[in-house]
Amino acid sequence: MRQIGELPKNFDPDVLEDHLLGLGMKSRFDRRPDGWAVWIIDEDHVARAREELEAYLAAPGDARFRETARAARETRKKEAKLDREFRKNDRDAGELWTAPTFRRRPITTITVAIAIIVFLLQNTAYRVRTVTALSFFDWFKGPPDLRPHQGLTDILAGQVWRLVTPMFLHFSPLHILFNCWWTMTLGTAIELRRGRWKLLALIVGSAVLSNLAEYLYMERLHANPDGTRFYTFGGLSGVNYALFGYVWMMGENHPEEGLRIDSTNTVILLGWLVLCMTGAVGPVANMAHLSGLAVGMALGLLKF
């Protein structure tokens, strides 16, 4: 910061300050007995700011100073509005963080709790019943990855929960730990900032779309001549990629809402998405990941 000159007391400092701001130069005016000392924050702007000060001293009534100052005042109003929204979000979040865990994030907590309970049931004598009840279609007996083709018969017959419930199925400890961690992280952020009902809509909507996309993709890709299909899938990953896409786009396009994800986690999630698509980590519901991500990004862009 450097002083570039002084402004006599019969000049309006607000006009010059706003004019400089309109030109992209931040300044500070210190009151003196005979006027104001004019300081420029960024020393790279000293020469240009000094020229503007001299021009203002020579012709304070020049219309260009008023026009630039008016535009700068509009900028100040927008910045002040954004600042108020940031402060409101921070205050609301702070109040929620002091509340009991279930109260501040009930949808997130319930979602993760159901997934854990289902995983425990999958590892008991109730495994077949659990998977049969919650999978995209009613499983028949036989090899775990090969089932007779049923299409959407069960869902069209009224078992509409099957559009959502595959998200609760997980097939290894690592699978459920990874998914639940991201659900807690991203779900909590959305629930605190955007509310429980928007989070619930995001979870249910992305589950339906990602499960449908995965089923249709797998049915087409893995059709066998004998009429059977390979399409075992489940997990919260499609939903998690929707939550990730939503937070990512909200942070990039609507930062005043206080939702953001750092670049490191963004790289991790996108890198994992690509790695899964290579087949290096085994069978993965890639279409659920991609469709979930697309849904979340679209809703984030639209500020749902």
CATH at 48: 3.30.70.2350
Q: pLDDT, tens digit, for every residue of 105-129? A: 899 999 999 999 999 999 999 998 9
| Helix extents (H) in the chain | 13-22, 46-58, 63-97, 101-104, 106-122, 127-134, 153-156, 173-194, 196-221, 237-253, 263-278, 286-301
Could you say which residues of the chain have pLDDT below 50?
Answer: 91-93, 95-97, 141-142, 144-145, 148, 225
52 and 124 together in one domain? no
82 and 154 together in one domain? no
Tokens of 178: 């990874």
**Residue 148: per-residue pLDDT:** 47
Determine the structural domain holding residue 113 and report its residue range.
102-301
Q: pTM for the complete prediction?
A: 0.66
Q: Structurally, how many domains does the chain consist of? A: 2
Which of 53, 87, 121 is a domain's end point?
87
**What is the crossing angle of helices 106-122 and 173-194, to 10°?**
170
Q: In what order do the strands lie in the sheet with 2-8?
A: 2-8, 35-40, 27-32
64 and 179 together in one domain? no
Integer Cα distance of 157 and 121 in angstroms? 26
The phi and psi torsions of 30 (rounded to 5 degrees) equal -100, 130
> What is the number of other CB atoms lying within 10 angstroms of the CB of residue 229?
20
On whether residue 239 sits in a domain, the answer given is: yes
On whether residue 93 sits in a domain, the answer given is: no
123 and 64 together in one domain? no
Name residues whose C-beta falls within 8 Å of residue 160's C-beta, 6 or more positions apart in sequence. none
61 and 8 together in one domain? yes
**Residue 151: per-residue pLDDT:** 64
Integer Cα distance of 243 and 235 in angstroms? 14
Give the closest residue to 39 by CA, choosing from 22, 66, 16, 55: 16
Which of 62, 87, 112 is a domain's end point?
87
On whether residue 155 sits in a domain, the answer given is: yes
Tokens of 30: 């210190």
Angle at 187 between CA 182 and CA 190, to 5 degrees: 135
264 and 229 together in one domain? yes
